[in-house]
Each structure stands twice: as C-alpha cells, then as structure tokens.
Structure 1
Amino acid sequence: MELYQQEFGQHFNLGFDLSKFPWLVDKSWHNDISPSFYFKTRTGYMVLWVDYEAPNQREDSSLERYVVMTAVNSGTDELPEIYHDENCEQIYSSEEAIPLTTFLTKLILSNK
C-alpha cells in the first residue's frame, strides 16, 4: 500500500496512475490536509498536492483539487526535507487530472 493510502485511506483516489510518474515522491502525512508528492526540477523542488475528489470533503472547497507549489529543501539531495515557506508560490492548479498530468509531463521533459 502506498504511503498516501496509509495516511488518507486505501480508497483515496488520486485521479491518475501514480506508477506513470515514478519521479513523484510520496511525502503524505495524515496531519496535512491532503496527500502530497515532491519532485525536483532544474530550478528546485516542487510539491503536488492532491485533494479529495468531492469539493465538500476538502478543507477549503474553493481550492482546486490539484495544486503544484514551489518548495524548499532544508536537507540534502540525498536526504531531502521538502516543505513550504512564506516565499513558496503556487505555479499550477486544476480540477481535472488530464491537464495536471500533461503539465507535469511537460515540466519534467523540459528539465531534461
């Protein structure tokens, strides 16, 4: 069972096949509002937050389901400690999975 399923329930639906994005590292924690995954780009680390499918289950129903934000690594490349601070910015949001996966794929491919 994946970490996000351990923290948010085995039936939590990401809306996409996580195995197709092996560079997404699950950093989900039950005290967060939703599952999260970090990844590294040429410009630094980013975090993808995946909220509940139904807006009425979300802590803030006005936010879109998928949000990508810049992040800070207070660890090392070998042992990253990824988090947000006051300088982090939202760079993408979507309610739908297909535009999200397209965005993520293009972002990663542009960093190669």
Structure 2
Amino acid sequence: MLYKQEFGQDFDLGFDLESHPYLIDKSWHNDLCPSFYFNVGEQYYVLWVDYADEEQREEDTPRYMITKGVNEGTEDKPEVYCEANSEEIGSCENYEDLKLFLRSFI
C-alpha cells in the first residue's frame, strides 16, 4: 500500500481501507499526510488522513478532511490532485463521522 510506503508501515488510518474499495491511494511523501481520491460522477475528491496523535500533525487540521480534487490525467489513467485553493468540503476527528460523510457521497 502506497501510504505505508510513504508514511511508514505503522501508519494507522483509523479504518480498514478494504472497507472502502472506491478510495484510491495517492499518497506522496512530500505531502503532510496520506491521501486518497474518489469520484462521484465527474467530480473528484481527495480524502486526507492525518495522524491520530495531534502532536504528530504538522498543522492544526482535523484527522480526516475532504477537499475537491481535479483530474489532470485521463479518465483511464487519472492523476488526481487537490484543486488549487480548494476549500474543505468536510472534516472530522473520528471514523464514524467520516463513514457517514462518505456514505452521503457514494
């Protein structure tokens, strides 16, 4: 899994990624935390998953945050990035709230 390669084998997402097969790992070590994209129709979104321990977070952000994304690749080979100056679509600290939020999209 890419997020483990980029952020360490012990990084805890707080949920089982296999429970959300529509989340595509796009984690990159230059980012502050792991990220995953998904789409609803034509619109792409990026889910950021920060460290559970607030002391490990580089910024004052919630553990889970969703922003709008943009596909700079093709439909067959998407390259999804956080939209420039993208505002937060939703955020929360716990998985139960995230799960409800994701269900409202999917």
Q: TM-score, normalised by structure 1?
A: 0.89
Taking the aligned partners of 1:85 and 1:47, their CA distance within structure 2 comes to 9
- 1:63 alignment partner in structure 2: 61
What is the aligned length?
A: 106
Instruction: Write the distance in 1 (CA, Å) between the matches of 2:83 and 2:16.
Output: 29
Give the share of equivalent positions with the same residue, in percent. 52
Q: Structure 2 counterpart of 1:15, which letter?
A: G
Using structure 2 for the length normalisation, give the TM-score: 0.94
Q: CA deviation at 1:87?
A: 4.6
Deviation string, structure 1 residues 53-106 (Cα, Å, up to 9, x no partner) = 00110011x210000000111111111111123352210000111100111122
User: After TM superposition, which residue ranges in structure 1, 4 or more long, deviate above 4 angstroms?
Assistant: none
- Residue 75 of structure 2: aligned partner: 77
- Structure 2: gaps (5+ residues): none
Say if 1:43 and 1:79 are closer, same or farther in 2 by CA, change over 3 A. closer
Q: 1:85 to 1:103 in 2, by over 3 A?
A: closer
Q: Could you tell me how far apart the structure 2 residues matched to 1:20 and 1:26 are?
A: 13
Deviations 1:13-41 (A, max 9, x none): 00011100000000001111000000011
| 2:12 corresponds to | 13
2:84 to 79, 83, 86: 86
Structure 1, unaligned runs of 5 or more: none
The code of the aligned residue for 1:13 comes to D
